Amino acid sequence: MFRRNFLGLATAGLLALGLSGPATAQDDFIIVQSTTSTQNSGLFDYILPMFRDETGIDVRVVAVGTGQAIKNAENGDGDVLFVHAKASEEKFVAGGNGVSRSDVMYNDFVIVGPPADPAGVTGMSDVAAAMSKIAETESPFASRGDDSGTHKAELRLWKDAGIDVNAASGGWYRETGSGMGATLNTGTGMNAYIMTDRATWISFGNKGDYQIAIEGDEKMFNQYGIILVNAEKHPNVKTESAQQFVDWVLSDAGQEAIASYKVDGQQLFFPNAK
Amino acid sequence: MESFSAILIEAVELIVSWDPDVIEIIVLSLRVTLTAVAAACLIGFPLGAIVGAFRFPMRNGVIVAMNTLMGLPPVVVGLLVYLMLSASGPMGVLGLLYTPTAMIVAQTILVTPIVAALTRQVIEDLYNEYAEQFASLGVRPLDRVLALLWDARYSLLTVALAGFGRAVAEVGAVIIVGGNINHVTRVMTTTIALETSKGNLQLALALGLILLTIAVIVNGLLMAIRGTAARAAYV
């Protein structure tokens, strides 16, 4: 009898635990595959409630690196893709995975560095020249190394400066293989220069005595795009709700919401939908 | 870097303030982990008992497999479950990816080998003690397993706690299959990972302290149950 009680109790407990739980099971929700910069900066926490109030649609954000976000969306695990690597995004659409791509907003990348400034690059705005100096002095540089949007942009800038970072990998060039925040934590710990998007940097809570060393080069422009995942290829996509979200982000209301998001009085993202 | 006392104070403040977001995260953590551990016990106890109490061909192979699977990396489990539940995977039609159910499935896979392997050892030790009695009384196989499980119930509580410890502390699996979605699949460990990546180390550590406290409470409750049950048994 005890045995039966025990089993019955365990089963009942299992059912209660598994099936009950808070009523989060809203039917009207979409999944947005996005990047850590938009999430960590708090932008989504700020604009998504506005969208929900207007439409009743709950937006669930999966924040990973751009590379992983695109892979997930290619598997059909998302209704909208909201990332920052234009070339990869266009490839995604060309491959039939997305309906079309639209510019949403931009900010810029900066390179932050330790106060000692071993490469002597603080205050420079010519990113190619500054990166060459970092390479020449073999000052530590922490790279994302994770195929994210920021990583791709960084590799483009190295190539532009004519530097082969693969040769230096493990030496002064250190790939953390992690997200932006983790790389900032690691990089500041080893006095390395780190490239980050400005939004993540402003809202980052563990800056220590680090400061922005290199900024202002137009090559460090960081464009975000939004793509509706193609239901013809991925039939589970909730096209109607997802389209509503895309339309809202690109609308005046959505663009104003993005522009009005500030951390420490600084605007993080600049809307530029056409 | 803040001092540890400041972190401790922040942790206490977080609990005392009864922030609904924090409570929601704690509740979801417990719901996911306890469900997974319960499921793992339902599978692992009988499985471990059968392997522990009987001799059959390839038995050593099974034991090696169970013991090896105890070391399954959470990230690998997360990836496997992701591939299964992804819209382009074999079980994609269920639409379970990025839900608490997916997290429960992943943690169950992670914990079941631990429960089964430890149960096997407990039952085998007990079986060696009981073997002659079973033989002389002619106890049927099913009754043997049930008797062993029942008599080993206090040790099995510790086995379940080992599984709980593993599940409640892991982040690799749940962050992949759950997606760390705010108000949907965000649990203690994924919140700690997120706050760390935001550079809010103090908040992350405070959450870690809360997680530890919850583990202490769960352990304490189970020990209390065990204590009362043991006393009752010897009246």
Express each pLDDT in A195-239 by its tens digit.
999 999 999 999 999 999 999 999 999 999 999 999 999 999 999
Q: Which residues contact A168 (CB under 8 A, 6 or more apart)?
A: A135, A138
Check CB contact under 8 Å for A205 and B199: yes
The nearest alpha carbon in chain B to A76 belongs to B87
Amino acid identity, position A237: V
- pLDDT at res. B2: 58
Q: Is A259 exposed, middle or buried (0-12, 13-18, 19+ CB in 10 A)?
A: middle
**Looking at the predicted structure, is the pLDDT value of residue A29 above 50?**
yes
Nearest to A18 among B98, B104, B150 (CB): B104
Amino acid identity, position B59: R
- In tens, the pLDDT along A102-130 reads 999 999 999 999 999 999 999 999 999 99
Q: Where are the alpha helices (DSSP H) in B86-152?
A: 100-137, 141-151
Q: Is A2 exposed, middle or buried (0-12, 13-18, 19+ CB in 10 A)?
A: exposed
Q: How confident is the model at residue B15 (pLDDT cuts 50, 70, 90)?
A: confident
- In tens, the pLDDT along B96-144 reads 999 999 999 999 999 999 999 999 999 999 999 999 999 999 999 999 9
Check CB contact under 8 Å for B198 and A181: yes
DSSP-assigned beta bridge partners for residue B207: none
List residues in chain A touching B: CB distance below 8 A.
2-3, 6, 10-11, 13-14, 17-18, 21-22, 24, 31, 36, 39-40, 45, 60-63, 72, 75-77, 179-182, 184-185, 203-207, 234, 236
- pLDDT at res. A26: 53
The nearest alpha carbon in chain A to B195 belongs to A40
Q: How far apart are CA A107 and CA A94, in angstroms?
A: 25
Q: What is the ipTM for the molecules in this complex? A: 0.80
- In tens, the pLDDT along B44-54 reads 999 999 999 99
Mean pLDDT over A74-92 rounds to 96
Pick the range with the lowest mean pLDDT from A12-16, A117-121, B143-147, B170-174: A12-16
The nearest alpha carbon in chain B to A62 belongs to B179
Neighbouring C-alpha atoms within 13 Å toward the C-beta of A130: 27
Question: Among residues of chain A, what percentage have pLDDT more than 70?
Answer: 90
- In tens, the pLDDT along A120-176 reads 999 999 999 999 999 999 999 999 999 899 999 999 999 999 999 999 999 999 999
Per-residue DSSP letter, A169: B
Check CB contact under 8 Å for A17 and B28: no
Q: How confident is the model at residue B3 (pLDDT cuts 50, 70, 90)?
A: confident
Write down all domains in chain B, each with its CATH number in brackets. 20-187 (1.10.3720.10)
Check CB contact under 8 Å for A181 and B184: no
Per-residue DSSP letter, A236: T
CA B100 to chain A, closest CA, distance in angstroms equals 9
**Looking at the predicted structure, is the pLDDT value of residue A19 above 50?**
no
pTM score: 0.86
- In tens, the pLDDT along B20-37 reads 888 999 999 999 999 999
Q: How far apart are CA B30 and CA B70, in angstroms?
A: 22
Mean pLDDT over B152-165 rounds to 94
Q: Where are the alpha helices (DSSP H) in A137-224?
A: 149-160, 165-168, 180-189, 198-203
Chain B partners within 8 Å of A10 (Cβ): 38, 41-42
CA A162 to chain B, closest CA, distance in angstroms equals 31
Chain A partners within 8 Å of B199 (Cβ): 181, 184-185, 204-207
For chain A, what is the mean pLDDT?
A: 90
Nearest to A60 among B89, B92, B98 (CB): B98
> Which tokens sit at A103?
């510019």
Mean pLDDT over B79-91 rounds to 94
Q: How far apart are CA B82 and CA B177, in angstroms?
A: 5
Neighbouring C-alpha atoms within 13 Å toward the C-beta of B162: 17
Nearest to B181 among A36, A62, A206 (CB): A62
Chain A partners within 8 Å of B104 (Cβ): 18
Q: How confident is the model at residue A85 (pLDDT cuts 50, 70, 90)?
A: very high
Q: How far apart are CA A106 and CA A129, in angstroms?
A: 24
**Looking at the predicted structure, is the pLDDT value of residue B174 above 80?**
yes
Q: Which residues contact A77 (CB under 8 A, 6 or more apart)?
A: A31, A33, A62, B86, B87, B88, B97, B98
For chain B, what is the mean pLDDT?
A: 92
Q: How far apart are CA B125 and CA B116, in angstroms?
A: 14
Check CB contact under 8 Å for B182 and A77: no
Largest CA distance in chain B: 68
* H/E run at residue A143: strand A141-143
Q: How far apart are CA A270 and CA B3, in angstroms?
A: 37
3-state secondary structure of B185: coil
Interface membership of B86 toward A (CB under 8 Å) = yes
Q: How far apart are CA B73 and CA A273, in angstroms?
A: 43
Q: How far apart are CA A228 and CA A244, in angstroms?
A: 10
- pLDDT at res. B232: 63
- The closest alpha carbon to A70, from A149, A143, A144, A145, belongs to A149
Check CB contact under 8 Å for B197 and A36: yes
> Which tokens sit at A247?
């339309």
Query: Are residues B108 and B100 in contact, defined by beta-carbon separation less than 8 angstroms?
Result: no
Interface membership of B8 toward A (CB under 8 Å) = no
> Which tokens sit at B107?
């943690």
In a mutagenesis test of the A interface, which of B81, B176, B181, B185 is the best target, namely the one with the most A β-carbons within 10 Å? B181
Check CB contact under 8 Å for B87 and A236: yes
Q: How confident is the model at residue A20 (pLDDT cuts 50, 70, 90)?
A: very low
Check CB contact under 8 Å for A10 and B41: yes
Interface membership of B155 toward A (CB under 8 Å) = no
